């Protein structure tokens, strides 16, 4: 069958099982959009307001569904507008294929109109990228790109296609997608035996679980493993929803804004078992207080072993496979004294009672309303940490946030992708007023597509996390972090066509949440909180994670 490059692209996407693509048209991709028009009954295209929104939507779709997210942009500024979204996906190991158009081959390298070397730009932030100069290679490139995006440690792949390649013709024959096989070649008997010896000798094992648990779908394997050796379980930000938050072994988030139970247990354990995590500086920036523990690291990416923390032994391979092989071979433990000690540290995980309008109260209300049906997405800042600290996650893949890159403006686009990918769930995007201002235009995308997502703005009239650091470490010099914007977010949302409410009193919360959840269209809630509200607990940058700053410490100077 003789087809143009554009039609081969669309058919190849369908062959890979793609149902939804997020994008924005332009001159270099007109041939592709012409084919999308013909295939609109088979491939759902979501027009975002900005290419960055398309990249974040593809990312959110991938995180919520476990499928590959796909975004499409034109050449030049269209392509560069994807860069932040691609970097966000790369840092959090999200499977994504970004497709860009480029100028025709004779114009490449001549500073042509809307030309940019997007493969050069994105080389450090993609698993792999391509510029397809030969239409005969296009179909196999697409097939390979989807495989690379998913295999091993997932990540984004970029395909750049000159405009004339989308017009040229070649033979097309349907290809079956390349099978993605879980990596297990290095899960050897020797590696397993070394891990077994460390675990069986341990009297105070502690688990630090990261985003690899979500990526490999290893939640049940983690539960089985933790219960067999009676090890308390902490999670990184990327793993917040992947271990039941109400489980007796759960100690909460670990790190800079982690719980007292997680942070102190990590310094008192005799074996730190790290699963699909990379010892980020936001988790352990000072290693002095974990040196007394042996370290076992299990990760699919060998580059992460011994990168930030020297380990005593490791297993390299897919977490689901590794835990499935390891758990039957280890001794069952009770560790009653250790469990009792850690349980006594968990007091700060309870949501404090309050009568004032604050984040804790809102999340307490949401927890009571959550019938295993909410997906929480966030922007980046204080509200992100409050979401992780106070929302009680009940389902896998129900927390979508930018962890590694920390991208303000990420959440609303990601919420759109998640809501489209999981129409059976209710997506709630938690934002600060600073983050919301970055990509608030995507509210128009949510309205056009009649998505029943809820946008909550924690409105404190400032860039809260930066202001908090200025308060703690810069003697209260609030340089450019107090916003003082006269923007009325309720009116803004209504101008986009969304419903909107403002909460200024505690008595208003229940009714507003009820109206928002009863709505079948986008709703914005402007939730007014105190400018001086801070995130606690906190560990200062570079300090050991057991040197925890509490609100009482600040009040007592």
Supply 452's token pair.
Answer: 């029943």
For residue 51, indicate whether it is catalytic. yes
In this structure, the number of other CB atoms found within 10 A of the CB of residue 474 comes to 12
> For the segment 513-522, what is each residue's pLDDT rounded down to a tens digit?
999 999 999 9
Supply 295's token pair.
Answer: 């370290």
- Please tell me the predicted confidence (pLDDT) of residue 557: 67
> Model pTM greater than 0.85?
yes
For residue 389, indicate whether it is catalytic. no
Catalytic residue among 113, 310, 337, 511: 113
| 255, 545 Cβ separation under 8 angstroms | yes
Question: Is 359-540 the same fold as 189-348?
Answer: yes
| 302, 316 Cβ separation under 8 angstroms | yes
Catalytic residue among 51, 115, 151, 242: 51
Catalytic residue among 7, 22, 150, 163: 163
CATH superfamily ID and name for 359-540: Thiamin diphosphate (ThDP)-binding fold, Pyr/PP domains (3.40.50.970)
> For the segment 153-163, what is each residue's pLDDT rounded down to a tens digit?
999 999 999 99
Alpha helices per DSSP H over 104-188: 118-122, 135-150, 163-167
For residue 356, indicate whether it is catalytic. no
Bridge partners, residue 101, by sequence: 161
Catalytic residue among 19, 67, 105, 114: 114
Catalytic residue among 349, 458, 465, 538: 465
Supply 335's token pair.
Answer: 């560790």
SS3 at position 505: coil
| Whole-number Å distance between alpha carbons of 1 and 42 | 20
- Please tell me the predicted confidence (pLDDT) of residue 285: 78
Q: For the domain with range 2-171, which CATH number is right: 2.40.10.10, 3.10.20.30, 3.40.50.410, 3.40.50.970?
A: 3.40.50.970
| Whole-number Å distance between alpha carbons of 462 and 240 | 26
For residue 455, indicate whether it is catalytic. no
C-alpha distances out from residue 208 to 47, 118, 262, 319, 343, Å: 39, 37, 9, 13, 16
CA atoms within 13 A on the CB side of 455: 39
For residue 163, indicate whether it is catalytic. yes
Residue 14's nearest CA partner among 37, 36, 42 is 42
**CA dihedral sign, ordered 323, 328, 333, 339:** positive
Stretches in the chain below the pLDDT threshold 70:
348-349, 351-353, 557
Give CATH for domain 189-348. Answer: 3.40.50.1220
Query: Which sequence spans correspond to the domains of the chain?
Result: 2-171, 189-348, 359-540
């Amino acid at each position: 069958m003789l087809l143009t490059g554009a039609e081969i692209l669309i058919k190849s996407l369908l062959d890979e099982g793609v149902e939804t693509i997020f994008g924005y048209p332009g001159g270099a991709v007109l041939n592709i959009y012409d084919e999308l028009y013909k295939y609109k009954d088979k491939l759902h295209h979501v027009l975002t307001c900005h290419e960055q929104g398309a990249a974040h939507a593809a990312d959110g779709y991938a995180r919520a569904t476990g499928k590959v997210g796909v975004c499409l942009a034109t050449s030049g500024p269209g392509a560069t507008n994807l860069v932040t979204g691609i970097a966000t996906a790369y840092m959090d190991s999200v499977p994504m294929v970004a497709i860009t158009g480029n100028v025709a081959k004779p114009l490449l390298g001549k500073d042509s109109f809307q030309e940019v070397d997007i493969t050069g730009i994105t080389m450090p932030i993609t698993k792999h990228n391509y510029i397809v100069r030969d239409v005969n290679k296009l179909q196999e490139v697409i097939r390979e790109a989807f495989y690379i995006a998913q295999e091993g440690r997932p990540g984004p792949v970029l395909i750049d296609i000159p405009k004339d390649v989308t017009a040229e013709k070649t033979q097309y024959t349907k290809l079956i997608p390349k099978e993605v096989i879980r990596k297990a070649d290095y899960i050897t008997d020797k590696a397993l035996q070394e891990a077994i010896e460390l675990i069986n000798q341990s009297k105070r094992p502690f688990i630090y679980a990261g985003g690899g648990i979500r990526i490999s779908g290893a939640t049940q394997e983690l539960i089985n493993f933790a219960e067999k050796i009676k090890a308390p379980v902490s999670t990184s930000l990327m793993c917040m929803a992947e271990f039941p938050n109400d489980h007796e072994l759960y100690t909460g988030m670990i790190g800079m804004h982690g719980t007292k139970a997680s942070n102190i247990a990590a310094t008192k354990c005799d074996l730190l078992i790290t699963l699909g995590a990379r010892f980020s500086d936001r988790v352990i920036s000072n290693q002095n207080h974990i040196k007394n523990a042996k370290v076992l690291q299990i990760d699919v990416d060998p580059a992460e072993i011994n990168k930030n923390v020297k380990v005593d032994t490791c297993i390299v391979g897919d977490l689901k496979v590794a835990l499935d092989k390891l758990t039957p071979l280890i001794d069952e433990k009770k560790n009653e004294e250790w469990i009792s000690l850690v349980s006594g540290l968990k007091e700060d995980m309870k949501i404090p009672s309050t009568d004032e309008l604050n984040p804790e109260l809102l999340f307490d209300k949401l927890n009571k309303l959550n019938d295993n049906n909410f997906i929480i997405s966030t922007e980046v800042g204080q509200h992100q940490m409050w979401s992780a600290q106070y929302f009680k996650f009940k389902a896998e893949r129900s927390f979508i946030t930018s962890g590694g890159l920390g991208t303000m403006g990420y959440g609303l686009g990601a919420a759109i992708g998640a809501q489209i990918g999981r129409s059976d769930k209710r997506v709630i995007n938690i934002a600060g007023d600073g983050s919301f201002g970055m990509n608030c235009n995507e509210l128009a995308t949510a309205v056009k597509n009649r998505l029943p997502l809820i946008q909550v703005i924690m409105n404190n009239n400032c860039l809260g996390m930066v202001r908090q650091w200025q308060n703690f470490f810069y003697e209260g010099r609030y340089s450019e972090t107090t916003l003082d914007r006269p923007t009325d977010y309720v009116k803004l949302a209504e101008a986009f066509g969304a419903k909107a409410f403002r909460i200024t009193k505690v008595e208003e919360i229940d009714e507003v949440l009820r109206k928002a959840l009863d709505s079948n269209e986008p709703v914005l809630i402007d939730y007014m909180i105190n400018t001086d509200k801070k995130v606690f607990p906190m560990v200062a940058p570079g300090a050991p994670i057991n040197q925890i700053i509490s609100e009482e410490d600040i009040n007592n100077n």
